[in-house]
Structure 1
Amino acid sequence: MVNNPDGSVTRLVTLPSTAPSPDHTTHIPVLSKDITVNPDKNLWVRVFLPREARDSTPPAAGAAKKLPLIVYFHGGGFVICSAATTIFHDLCALMAAEIGAVVVSVEYRLAPEHRLPAAYEDGVETLKWIKSSGEAWVSEYADVSRCYLMGSSAGGNLAYFAGLHVADSVADLEPLKIRGMILHHPFFGGIHRSGSEVRLENDGVLPLCSTDLMWELALPEGVDRDHEYSNPMAKNASEHCSKIRRVGCKFLVAGCEGDLLHDRQVEFVEMLKGNGVEVEAVFERGDCHALFGHVKKFMA
């Protein structure tokens, strides 16, 4: 990654990407298509629909027969990756198939060209779009009253703050209702090094120098890593949790002991519990990512 004089960066590594598969004549188990939300921001979503739902004739009628809705935010430290990045495309397709859900994966603006809270604002705009767009795969097949915000790494951070941003105006989103937040290895930081950050400083997947750089590029200029966007445990914790309780949604936080971010995630869970928020925590040993069984149970 190379810093440019205008404040942008040149991303030297291009990760594999996958095109959507909207053609219902194929035999793949999950269909997907891209839809523009706001062309001025290049904000778009990739919608995933289980093929068996699309092939039902007529489409399932009534909210009780519709599928739950997952609004998903990809990872990448707010700086890299896309909703089209293969690992996130495959994850969303697998969730749609295994859980039986409509998944809306959000292509939000990246830092440093668009520093936080730009990504949070894109998350909020997407929720408003879901409410009012009339997009057929959402309106016909998704029960928007069973909506879950989910994200991996930076996407987990984004899901949390997008939820906070709409907490005072949830009535404006109806009939969309946020039932829960699913944070998969959420990306949080802070000024003081945690135990897992020291222990895994030179981790081959996510070294400490990488998280430092991502926060430097993503946070608003002039703030430190104890800003609430990075460290929700340091500031405004009780206020945030009060908003979450008013929304009435529950949390699933999933991580693993081999993750440099592990201790931050544990602290985040304890913050939620200490402020009366319903939360289930699943921390696996080592570095495995055993998630789907927990998600399906959580959404039941």
Structure 2
Amino acid sequence: MDASNEIAEDISPIIRTYKDGRLERLDSAERVPPSLDPVTGVASKDVVIHPDTGISARLYLPKVGASTKLAVLVYFHGGGFCIWSAFSIPYHRLLNSIVSKANVVAVSVEYRLAPEHPIPAAYDDGWRALQWVASHAEGGPEPWLARERTNFSRVFLAGDSSGANMAHDVATRVGAEGLGGCSDVRVEGVVLLHPYFWGTERLPSEQGRDDGPLIRPEAARNLWMFVSGGAGFDNPRINPLAEGAPSLASLACRRVLVAVAGKDTLRDRGRAYCESLRSSGWGGEVELLETEGRDHGFFVFRPESRDASVLFKRLACFMMSKSKL
């Protein structure tokens, strides 16, 4: 058989590799340029964060008064660390919606993808992106993040699927290392939308499924091995509840919102994360939002649905409200 047609690894519906080295990203989307969205009034533009590695971001600014100080949302897109883009149509549409509802300035991070850039490249990029945002508290090059118009005491980290995994990782790193001399910067909250976590021991939602979930257990399992170069399933980055993982008590925020979907293979990981966070001694506020009858990432693919609208409103309320502690 011609090596160009011989499959080396098939992780449907995400990515497929061939023995001649070719990659086929199975679920990708057209990229769109930044714009002024006519529906929401949200403006966007692209910036380079780290020229040496090529890390960039799409910034979103809501239509608000010039004197209004805005909270900051740092968002990491999903795609199993190997597909999708901050510049793709679904995420451009998603961020326009979130920013218009929550009145935040958003930084949607374009990080490096596996397998060309294996884990931990994505995590390192997420960390550099937050550092870049935080540097503007002391004065930086990006006017949309000028300290005169930005409330750096209300920074939110968020993402969906693998991006939610990244948001957790970055928040953990802030707790362990801080943000250098950026004393005015505080991570107020973390939002994990259908987080991609895994582990050696299978949870109920990860076992034999006959309802055809979008991400089957085998795909979720094989994907981590593929993007991480064979790191174990109890590596703290894919299983933050594993023995020896950094304590959730040190998570660098006061509030956490976790959203799961009833039909999602990853549902029980999100639930377990909430339970462990509550019992860790962390002391903050954690909320769990479960959407019955929906599958993984439905709000990305069906943003016009009623359930997606409910999720977006909950997310906006989370970012607009203040801690009770």
TM-score strictly above 0.5? yes
Q: Describe the SS at the equivalent of 1:205.
A: coil
Counterpart of 1:47? 59
Query: Does residue 229 of the first structure (1) align with residue 231 of the second (2)?
Result: no
Query: Does residue 185 of the first structure (1) align with residue 191 of the second (2)?
Result: no
Please point out which of 158, 172, 188 is paired with 2:166.
Answer: 158
Question: How far apart, in 1, do the equivalents of 2:82 and 2:152 lie?
Answer: 30
Aligned alpha-carbon RMSD (Å): 2.3
Between 96-105 and 132-141, the greater mean CA deviation after superposition:
132-141
Q: Which 4+ residue blocks in structure 1 deviate beyond 3 angstroms?
A: 4-10, 199-202
Counterpart of 1:217? 226
Query: Does residue 251 of the first structure (1) align with residue 268 of the second (2)?
Result: no
Structure 1 residue 4: Cα displacement: 5.6
- Equivalence map 1:80-159=2 (5 Å): 80-132=83-135, 133-139=140-146, 140-159=148-167
Closer/same/farther in 2, CA of residues 147 and 7 from structure 1, 3 Å limit = farther
| Contact 2:215-2:265 within 8 A present in 1 as well | yes
Query: Does residue 170 of the first structure (1) align with residue 190 of the second (2)?
Result: no
Counterpart of 1:280? 287
Amino acid at match of 1:241: L
Closer/same/farther in 2, CA of residues 2 and 258 from structure 1, 3 Å limit = closer
Amino acid at match of 1:191: T
Query: Does residue 195 of the first structure (1) align with residue 204 of the second (2)?
Result: yes
Q: Describe the SS at the equivalent of 1:213.
A: helix
Counterpart of 1:3? 17
Q: Describe the SS at the equivalent of 2:127.
A: helix
Any stretches of 5+ residues in structure 2 without a counterpart?
Answer: 1-14, 295-306
Q: Describe the SS at the equivalent of 1:18.
A: coil
| Contact 1:154-1:187 within 8 A present in 2 as well | yes
Between 277-286 and 81-90, the greater mean CA deviation after superposition:
277-286
| Contact 1:69-1:101 within 8 A present in 2 as well | yes
Question: How far apart, in 1, do the equivalents of 2:84 and 2:175 lie?
Answer: 27
| Number of residue pairs the alignment of both structures matches | 285
Q: Describe the SS at the equivalent of 1:41.
A: coil
For residues 202-258 of structure 1, give each alpha carbon's deviation from its aligned partner in whole angstroms, at most 9, with x where no partner exists: 635222232123212222x34221211111111335x432321xx342211011211
Question: How far apart, in 1, do the equivalents of 2:255 and 2:141 lie?
Answer: 27
Any stretches of 5+ residues in structure 1 without a counterpart?
Answer: none
Structure 1 residue 174: Cα displacement: 3.0
| Contact 1:131-1:174 within 8 A present in 2 as well | no
Amino acid at match of 1:294: R
Between 112-121 and 86-95, the greater mean CA deviation after superposition:
112-121
| TM-score, scaled relative to structure 1 | 0.87
Structure 1 residue 115: Cα displacement: 2.0
For residues 78-118 of structure 1, give each alpha carbon's deviation from its aligned partner in whole angstroms, at most 9, with x where no partner exists: 11000012111111110111111111100011112222221
| TM-score, scaled relative to structure 2 | 0.80
Structure 1 residue 12: Cα displacement: 4.9
Amino acid at match of 1:91: L
Q: Describe the SS at the equivalent of 1:148.
A: strand
